[in-house]
Amino acid sequence: MTNSTLRRFGIGLLAWAVAFVIFFPIFWMMLTGFKTEADAIADPSLIFPPTLDSYAEVQQRADYFKFALNSVIVSFGSTILALLIAIPSAYSMAFLPTKRTKGTLLWMLSTKMLPPVGVLVPIYLLFRDTGLLDTRTGLTIVYTLMNLPIVVWMLYTFFKDLPKDILEAGRMDGANTLQEVWHLLLPLTLPGIASTGLLSVILSWNEAFWSLNLTSSQAAPLTAYIASFSSPEGLFWAKLSAASTMAIAPILVFGWLTQKQMVRGLTFGAVK
């Protein structure tokens, strides 16, 4: 074996090892979902009689589809809302920057450094007083605000990568700002916008802190659904795993289908 093939082999092995470490917990969780409760707490084993009992029981205890619908509405709703706010913001920051643009961007990002629990009480009280507790509207608003800094940042970097000349050419051709955005900016940065949107959907889908604290039954998304299976009566590993598998399945499939788009978007600037 030559040096370079040995190197390639080594790198390949490392990549597989990392992938395995990342994937293993998910794999194990999926496996546990098909076990009986007794098998689930027995010595770890790959060989066991598979059963769908846990899934059936889980579905009996709580309506999966209600939670799933909430998740879909809240994560997609908040993403659309965030994009609607972020696109104009990122446009003005990327193309009409002022002395304070960099500062504003940093400040926006710094809000993400704050532990959410720090603002739990004020937000809870606000929601209680405005009747937003346990509503999909309320959760959508929180998720929008939660993801807005990241969405603005990502769009800002994508927009900044667009040659300014193209927009100026558009202006020379008679485009007003809206036409400039609609005919030129959006189509040209679509991969970036799409991957930003996808990331926002995934972050919202997986968000647990706010959904657990601000919803109970009506607006509870899938994260709350999983949590409801770790109950005071004890941990039921098989059921918890079955519920978790069902909760992550849609977003996993979604992520897998849009993988190409994601990668293209995230490397948009680099390969142009």
Partner 1 sequence: MATLQLKSIVKEFGETSVIKGVDLDVNDREFVVFVGPSGCGKSTLLRIIAGLESASSGDILIDDKRINDIGPAERGLAMVFQSYALYPHMTVEDNMGFSLRLAGISKAERRDKVLAAAQILQLEELLDRKPKALSGGQRQRVAIGRAIVRNPSIFLFDEPLSNLDAALRVQMRIELARLHDELDATMIYVTHDQIEAMTMADKIVVLQKGEVEQVGSPMELYHHPRNRFVAGFIGSPTMNFMDVSYLRHNADGVTVTLPGGDVCQVPVDGTNLDTGAALELGIRPEHLNLDENGPLNGKIQVMERLGGATSLYIDMDRCLVTVIADGDIDQKVGDTVRFGFEPSRAHLFDAQQQALPSLRRHPLTAVTRQSNHAAVDPNGK
Q: With contacts defined by CB under 8 A, name the span among 49-57, 141-149, 165-173, 198-206 that binds partner 1.
A: 165-173
Between 183 and 260, name the residue whose CB sits nearer to partner 1. Answer: 183
State yes or no: residue 183 binds partner 1 (CB under 8 A).
yes
CB of 154 to partner 1, least distance (A): 20
State yes or no: residue 163 binds partner 1 (CB under 8 A).
yes
Q: Of 15, 29, 71, 97, whose CA–CA distance to 244 is shortest?
A: 29
Amino acid at the residue 113: M
In 221-272, where do the E strands start and end? 230-231, 234-235
Between 160 and 171, name the residue whose CB sits nearer to partner 1. Answer: 171
Q: Buried (b) or exposed (e) across 26-51, using 16+ Cβ within 10 A?
A: eeebbbbbbbebebbeeeeeeeeeee
State yes or no: residue 187 binds partner 1 (CB under 8 A).
yes
State yes or no: residue 121 binds partner 1 (CB under 8 A).
no
Q: With contacts defined by CB under 8 A, name the span among 70-78, 125-133, 180-188, 252-260 that binds partner 1.
A: 180-188
CB of 96 to partner 1, least distance (A): 13
Contact call for residues 193 and 186 (beta carbons, < 8 A): yes
Contact call for residues 47 and 232 (beta carbons, < 8 A): no
CB of 90 to partner 1, least distance (A): 19
State yes or no: residue 170 binds partner 1 (CB under 8 A).
yes
Q: With contacts defined by CB under 8 A, name the span among 38-46, 147-155, 184-192, 262-270 that binds partner 1.
A: 184-192
State yes or no: residue 194 binds partner 1 (CB under 8 A).
no
Q: What HEC string does 125-189 produce?
A: HHHHHHCCCCCHHHHHHHHHHHHHHHHHHHHHHHHHHCCHHHHHHHHHCCCCHHHHHHHHHHHHC
Residues that bind partner 1 (CB under 8 A): 163, 165-166, 168-175, 179, 183-184, 187-188
